[in-house]
Structure 1
Amino acid sequence: MDLKSALMGLGFAAIWASAFTSTRIAVVEMPPLLALVIRFGISAAIAMGLAWAMGQSLRLSRAEWRTVIVFGLCQNALYLGLNWTAMQWVEASAASIIASMMPLMVAFAGWAVLGEKLRRQAALGLVVGVIGVVIIMSVRLSQGMHLGGLLMCLAAVVALAVATMAVRNAGGGANVLMIVGLQMAVGAAALALPSAALEWGRPWEWSGRLIGALAYSVLVPGIFATFIWFRLVTRIGAVRAAAFHFLSPPLGVAIAALWLGESFGWSDVIGSAVVAAGILMVQLARVPPADPIARAGG
């Protein structure tokens, strides 16, 4: 892996982890689904406008349209819709740890559903990752963590795993920014009706804190991180790119503590390290051997 790819992966992991903190700020000040509709709408307009200016086209291949629809529905509408709703009651650090289970779920589903071979290291990593999550969540539940919010976060990460498996062979292509914008538009359209039905009349008002959180969510995790992800997958493949998710648990806990002042205990520190180790074991076991010729060619 070259230095640029490594830096892209590190940047993506940090942005991914920080997104939960900005989300926590937004959802305590306005209805979460409405916040997502606004975020997706603005993100789609910006991304598609930039893509059009760069000469990218709406004429996508069948595989690219599949990426747009699956990501728009599973990742944006289901994953983020459930996650943002749950984070009205669940702290940012806990939500980030649950979401980091996605690579573990993808590896398990690949073995259980698709019949893919699971190396001994990967199987051990699955067990280690689950143990880490149990360490953290058992303590947090005993301290009064919202059970409904926890279940919604778990359902959200299942939706994210489905989206990842469905389009894991899709690269960025020439229309990557247009694809990013279109899948945001799909998310906005899918959540508009649920937002109107469930959140109509709920009081809220604009504030500097809310505007800042939404702006960060739109520009950084919404557009920039998604663009980095597609480019990273194009450069090194989905399996190698997903390996960077092992950084999400410790980064998520640290960023939430620094930005929001969320408290954390030894169970969070130890559990995050265990989850990260499990994710890394699974992903390294799934990384194919490097091609010496390709590696020599840079």
Structure 2
Amino acid sequence: MDVKAILMGLAFAVMWASAFTTTRMIVVAAPPLTALVIRFAISAVLGIMLARAMGQSWRLSRAEWRVLILFGIMQNALYLGLNWIAMQWVEAAAASIIASMMPLLVAFFGWLWLGERLRMPAVIGLAMGVAGVVLIMGVRLQHGLSLFGALLCLIAVVALTVATLVVRGSGGSRNMMMIVALQMAVGAVVLALPAALLEWGRPIDWSCQLIVAFLYTILAPGLAATFIWFQLVNRIGAVRAATFHFLSPIFGVAIAALLLGERFGASDVIGAIIIAVGILLVQTAKLPPATATSR
């Protein structure tokens, strides 16, 4: 793995983890689903324009349409929709910790449903990941963590895990940015009716912080991180790229503490490190021996 790939992976991890902090800023000031519909609509327009500038087409294959519709519903509408609702009551650090379980859940459900073999480092990593989450959430529950909000976050990450397993191995399209943009359009369409029914008339507390957080969420985690991710996958492969997820719990907790002043106790530090090591073990266990030491 070269220096450029490492820098790309670090940039992706920081932007992905920071999204929980900016989301928390947004949902305490604005109706979450309405804000998410607006975010998806703007991101879809910008993404389509960028894809067209890159020479990409919206004439997609049936398989590509299946992937983007499934991910638009499961990732954007369900995963992000439930997360944004939950973060009205759940702190950004807690939401990022739950979301960081996704690589662990992919490995677990792959073993449970698809019969995929788990090497011993992956088994150890899964156990460590669960232990780290239990440690952090157990302490946070004692300090008033919303059980309902945490449950919504858990359902959200399970939805994303299922979608990831269903479409795994279907990447490599020449129209990937267009697919990403259209996924966001699907998310906006699916969430438009629930947003109107549940949040019509709810006020928005406008501020500079809200506007900056909203723009950042659209441009950085929404578009830039997605673009970097696919470039990273093309450069080093999906399995190696996914190892950078091990930084998410550490960055997520640290950024929330820095920008929002959220509690940052010893249990958060220890738990985040345990989860990070667990994710790293799970991901590196997937690397074939021939390529694991080739660079």
Give the TM-score normalised by the residue count of structure 1: 0.95
Q: Which residue of 1 aligns with 2:252?
A: 252
Q: Which residue of 1 aligns with 2:137?
A: 137
The one-letter code of the counterpart of 1:112 is L
Stretch moving more, 117-126 or 156-165: 156-165
User: CA 1:10/1:290 → structure 2, altered by over 3 Å: closer, same or farther?
Assistant: farther
Query: Contact (CA 8 Å) 1:257, 1:263: kept in 2 or not?
Result: yes
1:164 CA displacement: 1.7
Query: Contact (CA 8 Å) 1:171, 1:231: kept in 2 or not?
Result: no
Residue 228 of structure 1 pairs with residue 228 of structure 2 = yes
Q: Which residue of 2 aligns with 1:127?
A: 127
1:172 CA displacement: 4.2
Distance 1:3 1:179 in 2: 28
Q: Which residue of 2 aligns with 1:149?
A: 149
Distance 1:230 1:219 in 2: 16
Aligned residues: 294
Q: Which residue of 1 aligns with 2:103?
A: 103
Q: Which residue of 2 aligns with 1:43?
A: 43
Q: Which residue of 1 aligns with 2:264?
A: 264
Query: Contact (CA 8 Å) 1:125, 1:281: kept in 2 or not?
Result: yes
Q: Which residue of 1 aligns with 2:188?
A: 188
Distance 1:137 1:291 in 2: 36
Distance 1:215 1:107 in 2: 34
The one-letter code of the counterpart of 1:58 is W
Q: Which residue of 2 aligns with 1:276?
A: 276
User: CA 1:33/1:214 → structure 2, altered by over 3 Å: closer, same or farther?
Assistant: same
1:290 CA displacement: 4.0
Q: Which residue of 2 aligns with 1:22?
A: 22
* Percent of aligned pairs sharing the same letter: 67
| CA offset digits 1:5-63 (Å, max 9, x no partner) | 22221111111110000000000000000010000000000010111122210111233
The one-letter code of the counterpart of 2:251 is L
Q: Which residue of 1 aligns with 2:82?
A: 82
Residue 209 of structure 1 pairs with residue 194 of structure 2 = no
Distance 1:290 1:71 in 2: 32
Distance 2:62 2:6 in 1: 30
Query: Contact (CA 8 Å) 1:22, 1:214: kept in 2 or not?
Result: yes
The one-letter code of the counterpart of 1:175 is N
Distance 1:133 1:207 in 2: 34
The one-letter code of the counterpart of 1:42 is I
Gaps of 5+ in 2: none
| CA offset digits 1:211-244 (Å, max 9, x no partner) | 1111000000011111122222233332222111
Distance 1:64 1:235 in 2: 21
User: Secondary structure of the equivalent of 1:209?
Assistant: helix
User: CA 1:229/1:163 → structure 2, altered by over 3 Å: closer, same or farther?
Assistant: farther
Distance 1:192 1:186 in 2: 10
Give the TM-score normalised by the residue count of structure 2: 0.96
User: Secondary structure of the equivalent of 1:113?
Assistant: helix
Query: Contact (CA 8 Å) 1:172, 1:231: kept in 2 or not?
Result: no
Gaps of 5+ in 1: none
Cα-Cα RMSD:
1.5
